[in-house]
Amino acid sequence: MTLREFGYVSNLLSLSRILLVLPVYFLLKLQTPAGNYGSVGFMLLAALTDAYDGRLARRLGQRTDLGRILDPIADKIAMAVITIVLVATRDLPLWFVFIVVGRDLTILILGFFLVVRTRVVVESNMLGKVTINALALTVVSYTLDWSAVKPISLGITVVLTVASSVSYIYKMVEMSRRVEDK
């Protein structure tokens, strides 16, 4: 990892996702229709940075371990802050934040130990990506107070969060075992 890698377009997009949490936070705190829609707009912009950081890294030949680490950390920071704000300003249940943040912390901690021990970075899998999309729907439904969607998206996201947690833990244990067996 070099300092120069922080300046890669793909890594700057990942870092921008963390910065985009600030306008989301301030707009959610307004608790007005304009603030709600504005916050969703910034959430969509953050989602676009997530969609394009990996593509740009591959296209520009800028795939790095820093990017593989920075991308999911940016996602986790953004979602943690936004869900905590939704607990404070909306009716998102606090227990939900514990499930989401607990999953993310578990993945980060285990991933850190895996990197230190094996030099292998675990990338997101399809179940993790589906989970993030369900979480995004839940966040938007609570932001815009879509009463009919909130309980359904909340339930689906909880099930997917638990399933993806098990999936990532299994994958990390298997990767660790493979490196040990070599």
Which residue is associated with the tokens 């909340």? 154
Kindly report the pTM of this predicted structure. Answer: 0.86
What integer pLDDT is reported at residue 118 of this predicted model?
82
Cα separation, 75 vs 108, whole angstroms: 11
CA angle centred on 64, ends 53 and 47, rounded to 5°: 20
The domain spanning residue 34 has which CATH number?
1.20.120.1760
Domain count for the chain, please give it.
1
Tell me how crowded residue 157 is: count the other CB atoms within 10 A of its CB. Answer: 23
What integer pLDDT is reported at residue 30 of this predicted model?
95
- What does pLDDT average to in each consecutive run of 10 residues of the chain (182 residues)? 79 92 96 97 94 86 82 89 95 97 90 82 83 95 97 98 93 83 71
What integer pLDDT is reported at residue 149 of this predicted model?
97
Domain ranges, residue 49: 3-181
45-67 burial, b for 16+ CB within 10 Å, e for fewer? ebbebbeebbebbeeeebebebb
What integer pLDDT is reported at residue 101 of this predicted model?
94
Burial class for 147, CB neighbours closer than 10 Å (0-12, 13-18, 19+): exposed
Query: Measuring CA to CA, how many Å separate 64 from each of 6, 11, 36?
Result: 10, 9, 36
Residue 48: φ, ψ to 5°: -65, -40
Closest CA to 167 of 114, 79, 103, 105: 103
